[in-house]
Structure 1
Amino acid sequence: MPVALVAALLGTREQLRVAPTDALRQAGIESPRLGRLRLTLAAGCAVAGLLSALTPWVIPGAIGGATAGGSALLLITAAALAGPWLVQQVFDRVAAPLAGRGGASTQLALANTRGFSRRLTSVVVPLALVVTFGIVQNLVAATLGAAGTQQLSDGLRSDVVAASSRVLTPDVLDRVADLPGVRTATPTGTTTAELRSESDDDDPFGARFSWEPVAVRLVPATDATDLIDLGVTAGSLTGLTSPGTVALSSDTAFEHGLSVGDTVPLRFTGTSGPVQEEGSPARVVALYSRGLGLGPVAVGSSTLPAHVPGPSDAMLLIDVEPGATALVQEGVADLGLQVADRNQVIASAGEAEATSQAVSLAVLLVLLAFIALGALNAVAMTTLGRREEFALLQVIGTSRRQVVRSAAMEAGIVGAAAIVLGILAVVPAAAGITYGFAHAAFPSVSWGLVAVLVFTAALVPVAGIPGVATLMTARARTGRLS
């Protein structure tokens, strides 16, 4: 209700201030001129959008990539604020080479697009938002999934993976290590814990929101392992041999303002306090780069509390001798463990990410449908508002066919403008997101979704053509009756 009230006040503010004679003139030909405040806000949003797209080059990792995603919405906001002027400038340059060319329908369409920029902006901007928002949301999800899968692929280097739904006991580990053909076997897996972030002690709600759930990976306390590589960038994993130590991903460390040597309270699910005694939080001994694929926090077995004997989704990474893969897989299966190779594990992680993306895509499409309906409503209202215009065209001898063809050309121009504007707003964000999450040169995006969004932006303006034909037919019948 408050949003609707503010929108109504802003929407009628200018109309209520216009003198009756000026209002009559503006009803015929719109003015693309905008107020200084609106243009200033548009310029500010455009600058902020371009700067936010450059964030990943200053703040690396997922935080920089996520910030770059806001660039597209800022640029679309700038286009909405400067829409009438922007549309007028573009259409003037498009119409100039076509002046005097083509038939009556072409000239009528060009005149309408140049003379009614405000009316067209109310349709162009929502459709451009559909294209921009849809591409950006899919781009973030797809890039995150691709980056996580790639980091998992780079981090897991074992030939055989043995999975277990129960904690791997030392006896099982010894029996796997004694199998013929096994070189080394490294246990890993994830469990749940909570990482405490900084909060204001004077804030009465600080204690409630200060513990952040995180996934914690159990890793061997060595930098020399060939089976799992976190991509250490600072410190050393050998420090994890000491109780009360953790390694953090670069993104997690940046988010909490931590570095090697700092301390942070950590508690595992079900405990009432940190792993260490109160006042002795976990010490950060290393930072690593593959947090998207291998988790935000890593600990050694010495840091796990007594009631958490090991990860619940334990995995055993096994390095085998050449030609002994099948023999080792058979031996591991005889021990009651689930056997898979490295490619199967990575593919399984990719399938889980794809399922998550499918759910997000369904929610996104529902949201975009509401935006598209808003644009469709704008098309309908704009068409109904042109009844007097169509009546005048009929009086001066314009045929129904000419007006319908002109409306079809206008719809094509509006759809093309929305598609171009939406894609241009995405380009800076796409570069920032791709670099921030994956350091890749080409974005990961569903081109099928892009095609659907572009098709929607092109189709919605066309929905007004039947209304134009209906209004012209109704006018013709009314004229014959009178």
Structure 2
Amino acid sequence: MLRLSWNTFTDRWPLFLGAVLTVCLGVALVQSSLLILVSAATAGGEVAEAVTLLALTLGISAFLAVFIVSSTFAFTVAQRRRDLALLRLVGGGRGQVRRLLLSEALLLGVIGTVTGVPLGLLVMRSQAWLLRTLGFVPGEFTPRWQDWILGVSAGIGLAVAVAGVLAASRRAAKVRPLEALRETGEATRVMTGTRWFFGALFLAGATAMAIVSAFVPADGAIALAINTALAAAVALTALSPMVVPLAGRLAGLVLRGPLGRLAEANLRDGVRRSASTAAPLIVLVALLVAQAGALATIAAGARNEQQADLRGDLVVTTTGPADLDVPGVVSVSAQTRLPIAITTRTDEGDGEVDTETEQGVATVVDPAAYAGAHVRGPQSGSLADLTGATIAVGPGFRPVGSTVTARIGDRELDLRIVAVLPETLGGGAEFLLPRDIVPAGLLASAPTESIVRLGPGAEPAALAAHGEVTTVDEWLDRAGAEQQETSTGIMTVIMGLAGLYALIAVINAVVIAATDRRREFAVARVTGLTRGQVVRSAVLESGAVTAIGLVLGGLAASVTLIGISSATGRITGQAVLVVPWGLVAVIVLGAFAVVGATSTWTALSATRPNPVSLTGAAE
């Protein structure tokens, strides 16, 4: 069976080339992300943020590998149904067909793994450079090679390839050979029971996660945003064959002339081909737009939240607290930021105590001045008790009355929690410390931002000698720009290579579709169409398919953005929704350009031979 699989592979290599490429890229992405993740996790707390990002990257890479390889194999097997039908007619049983396809998957997994391992080293260098450039890891950070990764990569390549062909091989073995040869019955049915089941399942899951995201903290909402987009993308991909015929009818209203009618007919007739081409586009748009929109929406909501919370006119930025007792100043709330390590201990029973240390940033304040500069009070407890060996913590950390151990500089103190701060979208303080327990030397060298309220007729210029003076709005705009820069870095790390992978899958689907259309194009030419007209018809068809993928991907992203917008409304009292129109424009123009160029090239290649030789050739 392996010999027959190898002969099939060498004879129909254009169909398998895309599958090999997807397995290769999947192995490379997962291997790279896993190696960097392990290296970062063992490097200590200074790269803790990078560990979280890499864990997300690894999860998305694994999802894309399984999803795209599965859809690619399913399309490849569908393109070969006539070959498989002939194998059945000459005596091959259903089990032999399945073993043939699984053997081919095994070969492709081996080839994809062998090529993916060295490619993964190049991807690892690119990812590490990206993390260093964006400041998520130190400049000297270098991921280390691990010998065990060879076994993991081999397992990933073989498992993804075999898992990708399992469902397709089962369906191919069930099709009756005469139905496949005649293109009737089960062979032509695209919306199978499996598609209906997974489409409904993932659609329900995406809807449930979108609802849940409206009731979780901001960090949880971001994580749910990615999962919601993935689930919605899978659901709409499974259900996309229902949309293709409708899109064909709509295209018929727009596309005029013989070429338009031909493109419309091909679109309605090639439902499987159109759905397979649109699938990677749906995932690409859903991931990129949902993630960018979620980060931008949370950033906008955080700014609105801070603007409503602050009671002040100016912000004076200094190194260490400054004496701002000048004429016209009504109140000053100095907020000094210091790194802090908080250790918590939890009694697990049976004499076991779980100890956990969290790195963070504490804001050193005068409790009365801080309460006067902020509208929102704590969820529980009181800032009036924030004196001596006490601390105020963020929501969900520990209840009032608990004790934690804090390392401030080289001092270690046991602190009692006296207040739990309100939930925020970002930008709020993680921990609050009273000024009297922090050494003066640490305060003198730490960055301090003082919220200043002015009286009538006060001159802001009087504060210029004490530090950098900005209005509250300018200060919030600057903080928002920094957060946007961080968000862009997160997007680049998480979605950069994954988005490229999905884009390559789109090109691959177009190429696979064109390899099986040589005779179709030849028939169109012998009936009177020129080569240029056939190519233009194929490009028109690909444009309609691209539109389907973009619209369905946009719907998947919309489910996520609605959930995030609801979360901002619950936390801040004012729902915010930011759509990344710039990114949307880039994706739309790029998708049409890439798919159009690929369709043109493949159609030109498919129409290069003499049409008479193709129409008369035996299939």
TM range (shorter): 0.7 to 0.9
> Any unmatched runs of 5+ in structure 1?
none
Distance 1:383 1:284, change over 3 A: farther
Matches within 5 A, 1:366-385: 366-385=497-516
The match for 1:194 is 341
Matches within 5 A, 1:122-271: 122-165=276-319, 167-168=320-321, 173=323, 176-177=324-325, 179-196=326-343, 210-222=356-368, 225-248=371-394, 253-254=395-396, 256=397, 258-259=398-399, 261-263=400-402, 265-268=404-407, 270=409
Which of 159, 166, 170 lines up with 1:6 in the alignment? 159
Bigger CA drift: 284-293 or 113-122? 284-293
| Aligned: 1:322 with 2:453 | no
| Aligned: 1:44 with 2:190 | no
Distance 1:28 1:39, change over 3 A: closer
Per-residue displacement from partner, 1:12-49 (whole Å, max 9, x unpaired)? 33346255545434599952344434422221110010
Which of 55, 58, 61 lines up with 2:215 in the alignment? 58
Structure 1 residue 137, shift from structure 2 partner: 1.4
Query: Distance between the aligned counterparts of 2:485 and 2:223, measured in 1?
Result: 21
Which of 560, 565, 570 lines up with 1:429 in the alignment? 560
Query: Distance between the aligned counterparts of 1:200 and 1:223, measured in 2?
Result: 37
The match for 1:465 is 600
Whether contact under 8 Å (2:190, 2:271) holds in the other structure is no
| Cα root mean square deviation, aligned | 3.6
The match for 2:548 is 417
Query: Distance between the aligned counterparts of 2:367 and 2:304, measured in 1?
Result: 23
Query: Distance between the aligned counterparts of 2:501 and 2:284, measured in 1?
Result: 10
> Any unmatched runs of 5+ in structure 2?
1-153
**Secondary structure of residue in 2 paired with 1:222:** helix
Distance 1:211 1:24, change over 3 A: farther
Query: Distance between the aligned counterparts of 1:234 and 1:395, measured in 2?
Result: 80
Whether contact under 8 Å (1:418, 1:457) holds in the other structure is no
**Secondary structure of residue in 1 paired with 2:451:** strand
Query: Distance between the aligned counterparts of 2:176 and 2:327, measured in 1?
Result: 93
Whether contact under 8 Å (1:132, 1:422) holds in the other structure is yes
Query: Distance between the aligned counterparts of 1:458 and 1:21, measured in 2?
Result: 38
Query: Distance between the aligned counterparts of 1:155 and 1:441, measured in 2?
Result: 16
Aligned amino acid, residue 154 of structure 1: A
Per-residue displacement from partner, 1:273-326 (whole Å, max 9, x unpaired)? 5x21xxxx5324233244612222222224547885578112233333222223
Query: Distance between the aligned counterparts of 1:388 and 1:180, measured in 2?
Result: 88
| Aligned: 1:447 with 2:581 | yes
Query: Distance between the aligned counterparts of 1:475 and 1:88, measured in 2?
Result: 31
Aligned amino acid, residue 46 of structure 1: L
Query: Distance between the aligned counterparts of 2:522 and 2:403, measured in 1?
Result: 74
Distance 1:109 1:93, change over 3 A: closer
Distance 1:197 1:147, change over 3 A: farther
RCO comparison, higher one (Cα < 8 Å, 6+): 1
Whether contact under 8 Å (1:191, 1:311) holds in the other structure is no
Query: Distance between the aligned counterparts of 1:419 and 1:149, measured in 2?
Result: 31
Whether contact under 8 Å (1:138, 1:446) holds in the other structure is yes
The percentage of aligned residue pairs carrying the same residue is 24
Query: Distance between the aligned counterparts of 2:249 and 2:383, measured in 1?
Result: 62
**Secondary structure of residue in 1 paired with 2:260:** helix
The match for 2:18 is none
Whether contact under 8 Å (2:248, 2:265) holds in the other structure is no
The match for 2:272 is 118
| Aligned: 1:351 with 2:481 | yes
Aligned amino acid, residue 324 of structure 1: A
Structure 1 residue 454, shift from structure 2 partner: 1.6
Bigger CA drift: 7-16 or 43-52? 7-16
Aligned length: 453
Query: Distance between the aligned counterparts of 2:590 and 2:429, measured in 1?
Result: 38
- What is the TM-score with the length of structure 1 in the denominator? 0.81
Query: Distance between the aligned counterparts of 1:479 and 1:315, measured in 2?
Result: 76
Query: Distance between the aligned counterparts of 2:386 and 2:165, measured in 1?
Result: 65
Distance 1:385 1:266, change over 3 A: farther
**Secondary structure of residue in 2 paired with 1:241:** coil
Aligned amino acid, residue 536 of structure 2: R
Would you tell me which structure has more helix in proportion to its own residues? Answer: 2
Query: Distance between the aligned counterparts of 1:121 and 1:419, measured in 2?
Result: 12
Structure 1 residue 373, shift from structure 2 partner: 1.9
